[in-house]
Amino acid sequence: MPTHRLVSPDRPANATLLLLASLYCAQGLPSGLIAHSLPVLLRQHGVDLALIGLLKLLALPWLLKVLWAPWVDRLASPRLGHHRGWILPLQGGIALVVAALALLSPAALFGSQLPLLLGLLLLVNLAAATQDIATDGLTVRLLSERWRGLGNSLQVGGYKVGMLVSGSGLLLVYDSVGWSLSMGLLVLSLLLTLLPIWRFAERRQLPFRPALAEPPGAGLLLRHYRGLLAQPGMWLWLAVLLSFKLGDALGSPMIKPMLVDQGWSNAELGRLTLLSSLVGIAGALLGGLLYARLGVLRALLLFGALQALGIAAMAALVQAGDNHALVYGLALFEQAADGMSTVALFAAMMRQCRAEHEGADFTLQASAQLLLGGLVGAASGVLAAWLGYAGLFLVAGALGAGVLVLLPLYFRRTLAVTA
């Protein structure tokens, strides 16, 4: 049995890093299938674009998981352990659903049985979203404050690797191996990522402490989140949390449309996207390592400034789409900065999580940040049409830089309260 103790002096053991990387990679596998592979396959089988658009609605459990997250924190399996008791059956269930898809005919699934396909994919997202609550809670408990940046590097990087495998990877082999074998390989990948959590002795190493959790029964949802919001400085932290990525959310959706308007082909955009994803993973890893050295405040300030600079620099690409070296240079810098800033923000979010409330506390913060970012991103096209691409990117960069003034204010007040 591998040990997950901390080493020298509090660095997580290699078994812990492998465990976390495997869990977040497992979450990316079904997401890549639904977000990247299936829209292509559905369209190739002549499915109407309006129906393909319904795939976006299947992500609804990821937004609604705050409603059941407190129960994931509160209920523990006496035999499997707390978080392990959720992760093992949920990921196993996802593998079973994908195995069932492998046994069905794609012609039928993409035709008369399309409602069945959508229903099964909704179950996959429901299970994956619930598993994410338990995985985040386990991550917070396993890692000390200093190394949570590295843990979130594994979260961002592992998730993107999983999406690449089931998205780009599946499409690359699909014509050669077909539907059933492609789904079979995905099932095998899901089962392989289960091995580290299967071998993790959670009951012995991280025993559940029900005395620290909210009491069960009616009102659990309200009590749980009311307790989170009652923490000192929490409302100011929410202002930091909701504003930190707003500049990126406003500007980044318009990068590819700008390049399309400048004549970039699908193949060129595909190569740029693939390389950008890999650089984003590297940026996330670098951000986690630097977080351990810089600490939370300096990491947020530095990475937030790089994030704002990266999105503002996109203004230099207006009318410069034929300069591929400049496009690649700025796009890759923006993705690296995005990876670093995301890791720092997620690590800072973990600082707000209370003992035995980790999964739901992290979920509420992540869902609020994701929802507001999505709403702001939805307005990016309107603002680009009004200001032009250059104006949009400069405004987004200024917004990203301006909100950083909240960081020292929050940390000063937090230190004053705890002193």
pLDDT tens column, 64-100: 999 999 999 988 888 898 999 999 999 999 999 999 9
Q: What is the mean pLDDT of residues 370-392?
A: 86
Name the CATH code of domain 6-207 (choices 3.40.50.2300, 1.10.540.10, 1.20.1250.20, 2.60.120.330).
Answer: 1.20.1250.20
CATH fold label, 225-418: Growth Hormone; Chain: A; (1.20.1250)
In whole angstroms, what separates CA 45 from the centre of its chain?
30
- Residues 153, 281: contact at Cβ < 8 Å? no
Round to whole Å and give the CA distance between 247 and 144: 30
Which residue is associated with the tokens 């949390």?
Answer: 241
Q: Where are the domains of the chain?
A: 6-207, 225-418
pLDDT tens, residue by residue, 208-258: 887 787 777 778 888 888 888 888 889 999 999 999 999 998 888 888 888
pLDDT classification of 160: cutoffs 50, 70, 90: confident
Residue 32 above 90 pLDDT?
no
Higher confidence at residue 356 or residue 127?
A: 127
Spatial CA neighbour of 17 closest among 357, 273, 292: 292
Confidence of residue 138 (pLDDT cuts 50, 70, 90): very high
372-383 in b/e burial notation, b at 16+ Cβ within 10 A?
bbeebbeebeeb
Domains 6-207 and 225-418 in one fold: yes
Confidence band, pLDDT 50/70/90 cuts, at residue 370? confident
The whole-number pLDDT of residue 308 equals 96
Which distant-in-sequence residues (6+ apart) come within 8 Å of 70 by Cβ? 214, 220, 221, 224, 225, 357, 360
Name residue 79's amino acid.
R
> Residue 416: its pLDDT value, please?
53
Comparison of pLDDT for 37 and 197, the residue scoring more? 197
Q: How confident is the model over 299-350, as pLDDT tens digits?
A: 999 999 999 999 999 999 888 878 889 999 999 999 999 999 999 999 999 9
Q: Provide the β-strand partners of residue 12.
A: 6
Mean per-residue pLDDT over the chain, rounded: 87
Q: What pLDDT band is residue 9 in, cutting at 50, 70 and 90? A: low
Average pLDDT (146-164) is 87
Q: What pLDDT shows up at residue 419?
A: 39
